[in-house]
Amino acid sequence: MMQEELKLPSPPTSTVVDDSIRLQEATRANQQDQVPHATSTEVPYGNDLSCSKEKRGHLFFGCMCDMRRAVIAVDVISIVLAVIEVCVAITALALFDEISQTTNDDVFSGWVKTNKHASEALLGFVIGFGFVAILFYSLGIYGAANFNQCMVCAALVYHCIAVFANLVSLNIPGILLSGLFVYPHVMLFREIRLGVMTEETYVRERKTCCGPY
């Protein structure tokens, strides 16, 4: 009896092709996993203000200290001037009656008696204005030291009020001095708002008149 030759069916061509494609994809994925990828939180060096080593902020008058130190300096000077102004006004208020009684000038004595209440009110206003100024200038110092733009803005507003008061009284030296004190506050407020001047970037931004530190 003749035995018939048994033929096994050959595997489908599509199955072989699919296995080959899967093998290639697995190999490609394995190679990609071995390559380190940059995370989405990475920022290019040139665009990150905290990473850049080049100073980005302004200098006081373009060649002196950074704006943070400039604000602290001008607000300290402003406090000293305000304290002197308050002391003079308090002294004048305390000696007002004594001056009017001891002077031999009848015209001056009469003027003092006539304008006593108005003069006392004016001196009281100067004293109150001086104490409020000391408060706002102290906020400016604290804001500059702690990179707080709101407190720097508070001191800026009061310096602008001082400019207006000097304009009304036609005090030319006062206008120039108050305008000078406004300048660093504007620049520091802008730098803090833009992120140029922060606690992290101050290592890069700090500058004194005598050197980088």
Domain ranges of the chain: 64-205
Residues 2-33 pLDDT 10s: 444 444 455 555 555 555 666 667 667 666 55
For the residues 53-62, what does the mean pLDDT come to?
A: 62
Query: What is the reported pLDDT for 38?
Result: 42
Return the higher-pLDDT residue of 178 and 25.
178
Radius of gyration (Cα) for the chain, nearest Å? 37
Kind and range of the H or E run holding 38: none
pTM of the full structure: 0.64
Kindly report the average pLDDT of the chain as a whole number.
74
Please enumerate in sequence order all residues whose Cβ is within 8 A of that of 100, keeping only pairs 6 or more positions apart, or say none: 109, 112, 113, 116
Query: What is the reported pLDDT for 137?
Result: 94
Residues 76-103 pLDDT 10s: 999 999 999 999 888 887 777 676 666 6
DSSP-H helix ranges across 95-205: 96-102, 106-114, 116-145, 149-168, 172-194, 202-205
